[in-house]
Amino acid sequence: MGRQNFGLDVKTVDRIAGEVGRVYTSGYAVCIVIGGGNIFRGVSAAAHGMHRATADNIGMLATIMNSIAFQNSLEKNGIPTRVMSAVAMPSICEPYIRRKALRHIEKKRVVICAAGSGNPYFTTDTAAILRALELGCDVLLKATKVAGVYDSDPEQNQNATLFRNLSYRDVLDKNIRVMDQTAITLAQENNIPIFVFSLMEEGHLEKVLSGEGFCSIIS
Ligand code: GTP
């Protein structure tokens, strides 16, 4: 969104794609799951009173728009990218097929997984953990607006404590709302570490991966 209230701010999309591009160029295999809040917020007034499944379907469509926009920004930087959607939309992008996604990764393409898991009631975070597990990722990086995981909302509480390391159980027991409980439980059962970091500072993604930048680690 950049500084807008909703929608796509191309400069911001390009900036984030540039960061992903640098990580890719330094040799990492990257898969991306993008949410749809920036677009969905614009229609959220209409979502009041909607059935949850209907609202979630609209959200999934929003993630496809974001994925295509992000692919466009990556390709402007010469990064080979494939969008694969969990909801079939064959004239716009490929369907998500795990074995095909693995092949794209082997061929050094960035894979953008669109439309969440393709099911209502499951969040983008849950879809991200699911894809990370299916595609054999070593780590899941959750980009946020704040430095990491806090014990309370840092935008509401100035004295919120920032965690460096915490367990899945800590997140569940303390009801920390960094991700929904379904996502955390899936990560816990399969032991995939989650790095929560800020995407607001330029170059921070690379720093997090090299160990120089701050992130909260859930493991
Ligand atoms: P390899 O065969 O592994 O080299 O993969 P590839 O993705 O380069 O080959 P493919 O011929 O499958 O795809 C060529 C282009 O068509 C790529 O940009 C794909 O993203 C796109 N593409 C493939 N399948 C579909 C589809 O079902 N729908 C849409 N819209 N595009 C597709």
| Encoded tokens for 7 | 């929608």
Quick one: pLDDT at residue 46?
72
Which band of pLDDT confidence, cut at 50, 70 and 90, is reported for residue 45? low
Cα dihedral 132, 27, 34, 61 in deg (nearest 10): -90
Separation of first and last alpha carbons in the chain: 30
Fold of the domain spanning 1-137: Carbamate kinase (3.40.1160)
Quick one: pLDDT at residue 104?
98
Q: Would 1-137 and 139-219 be classified into the same CATH topology? A: yes
DSSP alpha helix (H) spans, 77-155: 98-106, 124-134
Separation of CA 140 and ligand 1 centre (Å): 26
Whether domain 139-219 has CATH 1.10.287.3510: the reply is no
Which band of pLDDT confidence, cut at 50, 70 and 90, is reported for residue 43? confident
Residue with tokens 């430095």: 147
Long-range Cβ contacts of 188-192 (<8 Å, 24+ apart): 190/129, 190/133, 191/219, 192/129, 192/132, 192/133, 192/137, 192/139, 192/140
Quick one: pLDDT at residue 10?
96
pLDDT in tens, 70-121: 999 999 999 999 999 999 999 999 999 999 999 999 999 999 999 999 999 9
Choosing from 68, 75, 82 the residue with most ligand 1 atoms within 8 A of its CB, the one to mutate for a pocket test is: 82
Model confidence at 191: pLDDT above 70 = yes
Model confidence at 219: pLDDT above 90 = yes
Separation of CA 109 and ligand 1 centre (Å): 12
Model confidence at 41: pLDDT above 90 = no
pLDDT in tens, 134-156: 999 999 999 999 999 999 988 89
Query: Which of 90, 109, 93 shows the shortest CA–CA distance to 31?
Result: 109
Separation of CA 82 and ligand 1 centre (Å): 8
Which band of pLDDT confidence, cut at 50, 70 and 90, is reported for residue 48? confident
Model confidence at 181: pLDDT above 80 = yes
Q: What gap in Å lies between CA 141 and CA 210, rounded to an integer?
A: 13
Q: What gap in Å lies between CA 175 and CA 12, rounded to an integer?
A: 31
Query: Which of 32, 33, 52, 44 shows the shortest CA–CA distance to 6?
Result: 44
Residue with tokens 């669109």: 114
| Ligand 1 atom nearest residue 90's Cα | 28
**Ligand 1, CB within 6 Å, residue ranges:** 82, 90-95, 103, 107
Q: Tell me the C-alpha to C-alpha distance, in Å, between residue 59 and each of 37, 70, 88, 121, 130.
A: 7, 16, 15, 11, 18
Cβ atoms 9, 103 nearer than 8 A: no
For the chain, the structural domain boundaries read 1-137, 139-219
Backbone angles phi, psi at 17, to 5 degrees: -60, -35
Which class for 58: exposed (0-12), middle (13-18), buried (19 or more C-beta within 10 A)? middle
